[in-house]
Amino acid sequence: MADLAATITGVTFLTPIPALIAGAIALPVLVTFFLLKLRRRPVRVPSTMLWQQSVQDLQANVPFKWIRPSWLLLLAILILAMLLLALARPAIDVSAARAKNVVLLIDRSASMSAMDGPAGESRLEEARQRARDLVRSYRRTGFDGRIAVVAFASEARVVAPLSADFAEIERAIDGVTPSDQPGDVAPALALAEGLLQSIGAGQEGDRPEPGVVVLCSDGSFARDSGLTLAGAQLRFERVGPDPAAGRVNTGIAALSAMRDYEDPTVVRVFVRLENPGTDEAPVTLTLRLGEEVVERRAAVVPGADEHGRSGERAVTFDLSDRDGGVLRVGLEPGGVLRADDRAAVVLEAPVRPRILVVTAAETTEAQDRARWILHEILRELRPASIETIAQTEVSPERLDSADLVIIEGVTLGAPPRGPSISLGAGYAGEGPRPGEPVSNGTSFISWRRDHPLLRHVALDSIYVRTPRPIDVGQGDIVLARGRGGPLIAIHEGEGPARLVIGFDLAESNWPVHFGFPIFVAAAVDTLTLRGKADQGFAFATTDAIVLRSDEGASRVTVRDSDGNDVVPPREVSGERVPIGVIERVGVFDVAGGLPERVAVNLSDSTETAIATRDEIVVSGEAVSGASRAGSAPVEVWQWFVLAAGALLAIEWLVYALKMRS
């Protein structure tokens, strides 16, 4: 009886007003039909002996009469009652009837932002509406338990603890915001299980209170096996389009940028596109560096294969850059999921090198002219600083403080710890260095045109009056040769890079040649740029971001393009400042930290696929979401219509039996 009472408590009528109006009209009409006598035409007969029944009817032939007990009237009233109840759309809520505690799990992962809801809204809005409908149905049925709300994406958090305040629960549901993180339902199930188990025993002693977990999600999870839930019944409330329906969404699944190893001024951008739909998708990619459009390119992404795997297409861009910046890639036309229509990487601006030039204490006029030309070229490269010192002022500390050391016509006692360029001089110890001067002049007879230092440089018209052929060893690469041996070589093995030129600039016509500035720029880029800004970086929406603090900064703040704080400001207590997870896609400004911009991308194939499913397997049991059980009461008006039909058949049988008697 207790179960029956609970079930009755869970009955509600979705449209009671039309049923009441119809009942107020139909019931008096039915009773009137049984009260009214039929009008009969008077007929004269010789005798009424054989018409006794007619006489009795004549005596009762009055406009109205009292209702006599009649099975037909009772059956007619029951039939009318069944039809009126069916018109009121009766429904029962099994979860409301049996559960004492309900936990609503609302998926807010990236795929839930897909704009393919019934009215063009997002899946998250559809999920919130389902949750609101469920709470309102519980309130109508007199539910006396408690409800909690848990929102989840890659992690889960309690939005509202178990409470009987329906208004508070609805406010918590409205407060669930979208994220661009991939979805993982396992933490949400574990949190719901913990909420229900933390209640402990109810008022009935050791008997645990029953619990129901309602999952409002599209079912797009990368991890869909090994899910467990103990101590509660799971109801899956699937949102989004039918799984059999076509998916229309092409997104950026991966983006990376890297400087070319041989030529650091060349940046290669790699973009991987995915298309979960069955038809191929023509798209246009736009590459921007900062606010400037670098290139637009059309591409066709193939559709999914017969196994449902998304079609893929790779697109690469090449651009020239020495200053760094934010590389953005946009996709047009965008799909129903906007988070994967754009991606960005931050290509660090090259650290402007501090250049130290070491020269002889006394120089000739020709050497001064060559040095002036070299220094003017170096200034055009905009280094952080250029300092010139004599050989007598050299110290290990001064050498170590420079990012690049240029040695002009002198020999140092030990090589610098960082990269260096030797011009007709060198250093003691291992590594390539110029040998003894040769009196016979020479021109270049060969050079490596494929090397980034000489790719755009011609040496055929260069003459060296006093060459000093270079002694090369293991790890040294000869870049150019004269008649007497190697004249330009570079060490690219272990240790810092060392570029050696086997002649004094003043002993050649190279400084006034048009290719010399190109060579110097390429040499500085190769020796100082590589390894410092060779690869663009970006974070995923699940990464814990750690930044470096800027010099003199007391706090680090991360803001979006509108100037809003993305995370609370972090106090600086050391060189590394933990920022945490930024769960939305975009490029964010960093104040007080390094780097000054941070790019966050979705880059998740599962979310780009925006798949939906009709069932999930939890604790080894398949839970269907096609019936939408749990989001609203289950309508049972069909049973009342069937009952009316059965009663109509019984009425016909009773009437037939009376007619025969």
User: Identity (one letter) of the amino acid at 397?
Assistant: E
**Domain limits for position 624:** 94-243+616-632
Residues 49, 147, single domain; the answer is: no
CA distances from 22 to 35, 472, 570 (A): 20, 105, 66
> 514 with 384, same domain?
yes
User: What is the per-residue pLDDT for 262?
Assistant: 64
- Which residue has tokens 């669930």? 176
Yes or no: say if 565 and 558 are a contact pair by the CB < 8 Å rule: yes
- For residue 467, give both structure tokens: 């060459």
Say if residue 375 is in the same domain as residue 521: yes
3-state secondary structure of 90: strand
Q: Do both 73 and 129 map to the same domain?
A: no
Whether residue 210 is found in the same domain as residue 307: no
Mean per-residue pLDDT of the chain: 83
pLDDT tens-digit map of 459-517: 989 999 989 898 887 778 899 999 889 999 998 767 788 899 999 999 999 999 989 99
Least confident segment among 99-108, 244-253, 304-313, 618-627: 618-627
Give alpha helix (H) positions in 36-165: 52-59, 71-87, 94-98, 123-140
pLDDT at 557: 93
User: Are 370 and 515 within one domain?
Assistant: yes
Total domains, the chain: 5
User: What mean pLDDT do residues 331-346 have?
Assistant: 92
Ramachandran quadrant class, 26 (left: phi over 0; alpha: psi -120 to 50; beta: rest): alpha
Distance from C-alpha of 504 to C-alpha of 467, rounded to nearest angstrom:
8
Residue 417 falls inside a structural domain: yes
What CATH number does the domain containing 556 carry? 2.60.40
pLDDT tens digits for range 172-206: 999 999 999 999 999 999 999 999 887 754 444 45
Asked whether the predicted pLDDT for residue 269 surpasses 70, the reply is yes
| CATH number for 379 | 3.40.50.880
**Whether residue 153 sits in one domain with residue 176:** yes
Domain assignment of residue 534, yes or no? no
> Do 617 and 623 form a contact (C-beta atoms < 8 A)?
yes
Q: How confident is the model at residue 614 (pLDDT cuts 50, 70, 90)?
A: confident
Within 10 Å of residue 276's Cβ, how many Cβ atoms?
Answer: 25
Residue 550 lies inside a defined structural domain of this protein: yes
More confident residue, 362 or 169: 169
Residue 539 has a pLDDT of: 93
Is residue 387 helix, strand or coil? strand
382 contacts 353 by C-beta, under 8 angstroms: no
- Domain match, 563 and 579 both: yes
pLDDT at position 429, please?
A: 65
How many Å apart are CA 18 and CA 46, to the nearest integer?
A: 56
How far is 211 from 195, CA to CA, in rounded Å?
10
DSSP H or E segment with residue 275: strand 266-275
Rounded distance between C-alpha atoms, residue 556 and residue 596, angstroms: 10
Percent of the chain with pLDDT over 70: 84
- Residue 629, pLDDT > 50, answer no
CATH number of the domain where residue 626 is located? 3.40.50.410
Q: Out of 528, 559, 593, pick the residue that ends a domain.
A: 528
Average pLDDT of the segment spanning 539-566: 89
**What is the per-residue pLDDT for 18?**
79
Structural domain contains residue 475: yes
Mean pLDDT for the stretch of residues 585-590: 94
Q: Is residue 152 part of a domain?
A: yes
Beta-carbon contacts of 541 under 8 Å, excluding residues fewer than 6 positions away, are 110, 154, 179, 180, 181, 182, 581, 582, 583, 584, 585, 600, 601, 602
Same domain, 104 and 173: yes
In the predicted structure, residue 635 carries a pLDDT above the cut 50: yes
Q: Residue 136 domain-assigned?
A: yes
Do 217 and 306 lie in one domain? The reply is: no
Residue 87 neighbours by CB under 8 Å, 6+ apart = 15, 18, 19, 22, 637
- Say whether both 547 and 592 belong to one domain: yes
Q: Give CA–CA dist 81/638, Å, rounded.
A: 14
With a cut of 70, say whether residue 97 has pLDDT above it. Answer: no
Listing from the earlier edge strand, what are the strands of the sheet with 233-238? 156-163, 146-152, 101-107, 211-217, 233-238
Q: What is the CATH number of the domain that holds 341?
A: 2.60.40.10
Which of 501, 528, 555 is where one domain is finished? 528
Q: Nearest 5°: phi and psi at 357?
A: -105, 125
209 part of a folded domain: yes
Same domain, yes or no: 197 and 305: no
* In the predicted structure, residue 165 carries a pLDDT above the cut 70: yes
Q: Is 391 helix (H, G, I), strand (E, B) or coil?
A: helix
Res. 299: pLDDT tops 70: yes
Higher-scoring residue by pLDDT: 47, 196: 196
Q: Which of 519, 523, 436, 508 is nearest to 471 (CA)?
A: 436
